[in-house]
Structure 1
Amino acid sequence: MPPKKPALIRERGTGLPLPLLVVMTKWPASGRCKKRLAASLGLSRAAGIQLRLTEHTLTIAKSLEQKGLFEVQVAVTDIACKARRRLAKSWNLSNIVHQGQGNLGLRMRRQLIKAQKAPKRNTRSGGRSTLIIGTDLPWLASTDLLTAIERLKSKEMVLGPAKDGGYWLIGLSGKLLEPVATWPFCGIPWGSDKVLQKTIQLAQKASINYELLNEQSDIDRFEDLSPWHRVQPKCS
């Protein structure tokens, strides 16, 4: 059985819940992930790359959680309850959930709603600041996430631009999470190179105070692998 889910973790000295880091990922099994990459490399190799990227992301996330800086929630697609429990045990996770059905926007918003389901607090700070990332980020570092949550102390939203026109991170402050805003997740052409542009347009229309973080590359296609492979250690 996976570790028992902990009670709501709170920031030291404040009584407020820690920021939440939601990691959206796919089960790293052959045929279940990286389909565009699999078209060039094959199902097994694509799944292996997904596994390495996921482990890299979770290593960073769990390190920040152990330091008391975030609570981590991992949301997985296409996985049954028993398999999810096995995955939680193998990855040593206490908070792993199913993403549910729908497009990416619906699935992200669902995780944000879950994140706010905590006991009501005697505070005017609003909801619980939350970051959402995927597991396609070979260059992700803990400083990227710490910078994002620090920016949310003065901004309502932060976005990490991706080179393909999407974003590798979205972060919303408590003000936009109680209740959870709808506009960042509706009317977005998910999977296109217009995701970031449209999200910014909607933020401007809603008079949202936002900030862009550093740009990163994710790995979706064969050509995305080239810079990553140049720095990977060679196996004997």
Structure 2
Amino acid sequence: MRRRHLIVFARQSRLGRGKTRLAAGIGRLEAWRFSRLVLAALLRRLGGDPRWTLTVAVAPDRAAAMRGWPPGAGRRVAQGGGDLGRRMARALAAPPPGPAVLVGSDIPDIRAPHIVAAFRALGRHDAVFGPAGDGGYWLVGVRRLRALPRGMFAGVRWSSPHALADSVASLPRRHAVGLVDTLDDVDDAAGWRRWRAGSR
């Protein structure tokens, strides 16, 4: 039986490490608190769902074996080396047979219905993306009826308005690509303020 696999990409939350653009706008302590809060809430909402297996792909690699992760982060694997595209391709190819969906850990609005919609879209498409308003994306999924295409994510201009378009272009033309809801990550002070205003 082909199981559904959900992968959460997460970085070990350490004060002064990571989320540098956000920290520049709101301070290192508040950025650290935000990262911990959002990851813990995400794992609470998605970690115990029987409709998929959940794996947390961790950076840096050594942090996968460390303590202090929120509840729900039980199965952790290292992201491994390479740029973001290589690490994502590796994580998507690793699980046993079945469709795989990967999300980031800095998107506060992710809910179970978003993940359900992505897996449903993979019933009709070879790949699925969840667009972000800045031209990137918060979700990528692959049906995995065959091996991932060679060159998937090659040449993607990460952290730019072209990330989604480049990622779609890296797929073979024969691949059917679907889109799900647009959500935004929080990677700067303006995004953090919008999130704060909406969460009250």
Quote the residue 1:221 is aligned against.
188
Q: Which runs of 4+ in 1 moved over 3 A?
A: none
Quote the residue 2:20 is aligned against.
35
Q: Cα gap change, 1:131/1:92 in structure 2, threshold over 3 Å: closer, same or farther?
A: closer
Of structures 1 and 2, the larger Rg is shown by 1
Q: Does the residue aligned with 1:74 lie in a helix, a strand or coil?
A: strand
Quote the residue 2:32 is aligned against.
47
Deviation at 1:92, TM superposition (A): 4.3
**In structure 2, distance between residues paired with 1:232 and 1:173:** 33
Residue pairs, 1:167-206, within 5 angstroms: 167-175=137-145, 178-203=146-171, 205-206=172-173
**In structure 2, distance between residues paired with 1:92 and 1:158:** 25
**Do residues 96 (structure 1) and 44 (structure 2) align?**
no
**Do residues 86 (structure 1) and 67 (structure 2) align?**
yes
Encode CA deviations 1:133-161: one digit per residue, 9 max, x unaligned.
Answer: 00111111110000110111111111100
Encode CA deviations 1:66-88: one digit per residue, 9 max, x unaligned.
Answer: xx20000101112525x734135
**In structure 1, distance between residues paired with 2:60 and 2:17:** 8
**In structure 2, distance between residues paired with 1:69 and 1:92:** 15
- Structure 1 unpaired stretches of 5+: 1-15, 117-126
Deviation at 1:99, TM superposition (A): 0.9
**In structure 2, distance between residues paired with 1:134 and 1:54:** 9
Q: Does the residue aligned with 2:117 lie in a helix, a strand or coil?
A: helix
Encode CA deviations 1:22-75: one digit per residue, 9 max, x unaligned.
Answer: 0001111112221111112222211111111111211122132xxx20000101
Say whether the 8 Å CA contact 1:184–1:202 is kept in structure 2.
yes
Q: Does the residue aligned with 1:164 lie in a helix, a strand or coil?
A: coil
Q: Aligned partner of 1:108: which letter? A: M
Give the number of equivalent residue pairs. 200
Residue pairs, 1:150-165, within 5 angstroms: 150-165=120-135
Say whether the 8 Å CA contact 1:161–1:216 is kept in structure 2.
yes
**Do residues 71 (structure 1) and 53 (structure 2) align?**
yes
Q: Aligned partner of 2:183: which letter? A: Q
Quote the residue 2:6 is aligned against.
21
Say whether the 8 Å CA contact 2:43–2:72 is kept in structure 1.
no
**In structure 2, distance between residues paired with 1:74 and 1:23:** 5
**In structure 2, distance between residues paired with 1:106 and 1:49:** 27
Q: Does the residue aligned with 1:18 lie in a helix, a strand or coil?
A: coil
Query: What is the Cα-based RMSD across aligned positions, in Å?
Result: 1.7
Deviation at 1:109, TM superposition (A): 1.2
Q: Does the residue aligned with 1:185 lie in a helix, a strand or coil?
A: coil
Deviation at 1:110, TM superposition (A): 1.4
Q: Cα gap change, 1:37/1:192 in structure 2, threshold over 3 Å: closer, same or farther?
A: same
Deviation at 1:182, TM superposition (A): 2.6
Q: Cα gap change, 1:92/1:199 in structure 2, threshold over 3 Å: closer, same or farther?
A: closer
Say whether the 8 Å CA contact 1:165–1:195 is kept in structure 2.
yes
Q: Aligned partner of 1:137: which letter? A: I
Q: State percent identity of aligned pairs.
A: 26
Q: Does the residue aligned with 2:47 lie in a helix, a strand or coil?
A: helix
**In structure 2, distance between residues paired with 1:61 and 1:84:** 21
**In structure 2, distance between residues paired with 1:92 and 1:57:** 9
**In structure 1, distance between residues paired with 2:161 and 2:131:** 11
